């Protein structure tokens, strides 16, 4: 678990346990900090003007944005969990299978002697047929991995 998410959990827990000892202003300040950080992450990766926009279901993005903007909702370390799940699912189901078929990946496996050579002709067909996918798929996977890494770093307050 990221240290940031633990810190948010701890701050929220402390607020609930010490409500009588902590002033309303301090509670509001903590919530404002959490909300501000969440909004910054949202705008950088999910907002309409984002240069690094992550492509996921609009309903997920809208739900998180609503929670962040809704001042009557208590901030939560779980806000971005569904988005992270969607990104992992997209990478596992869409990007990784394409990458595994790419010429670059197959070449790497060959160089490391990790490719099982059952039929040299089949391998050549596989390499040739994926030649056109190499640049596009490898680029998409690289971009998605980069975005996921950036989201994980920036949203350490909210993501497992």
pLDDT tens digits along 7-27: 667 777 777 777 667 777 888
Tokens of 127: 């390499």
**42-80 pLDDT per residue, tens:** 999 898 888 888 889 999 999 999 999 999 998 888 898
Residue 63 CA to residue 103 CA, distance in Å, equals 39
Tokens of 151: 């989201």
In the chain, domain spans = 3-154
pLDDT for 24 equals 78
pLDDT for 54 equals 83
* H-only helix segments in 18-57: 24-45
pLDDT for 52 equals 83
pLDDT for 139 equals 62
Residue 156 has pLDDT above 70, yes or no: no
- If you average pLDDT over every residue of the chain, what do you get? 77
Identify the CATH number of the domain defined by range 3-154.
Answer: 1.10.167
Give helix then strand counts, H and E, for the chain: 8, 0
**71-124 pLDDT per residue, tens:** 999 888 889 899 999 999 999 999 999 999 999 999 999 889 887 765 554 555
Residue 119 CA to residue 56 CA, distance in Å, equals 39
């Amino acid at each position: 678990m990221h240290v940031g998410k633990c810190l948010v959990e701890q701050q929220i827990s402390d607020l609930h346990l010490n409500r009588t000892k902590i002033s309303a202003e301090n509670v509001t300040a903590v919530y404002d900090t959490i909300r501000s950080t969440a909004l910054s992450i949202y705008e950088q990766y999910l907002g309409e003007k984002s240069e690094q926009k992550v492509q996921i279901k609009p309903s997920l993005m809208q739900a998180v944005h609503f929670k962040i903007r809704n001042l009557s909702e208590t901030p939560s370390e779980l806000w971005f969990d569904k988005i992270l799940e969607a990104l992992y699912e997209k990478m596992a189901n869409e990007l990784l299978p394409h990458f595994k078929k790419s010429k670059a990946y197959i070449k790497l496996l060959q160089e490391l002697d990790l490719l099982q050579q059952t039929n040299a002709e089949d391998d050549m067909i596989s390499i040739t047929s994926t030649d056109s996918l190499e640049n596009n798929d490898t680029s998409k996977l690289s971009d998605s991995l980069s975005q996921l890494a950036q989201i994980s770093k920036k949203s350490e307050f909210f993501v497992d």
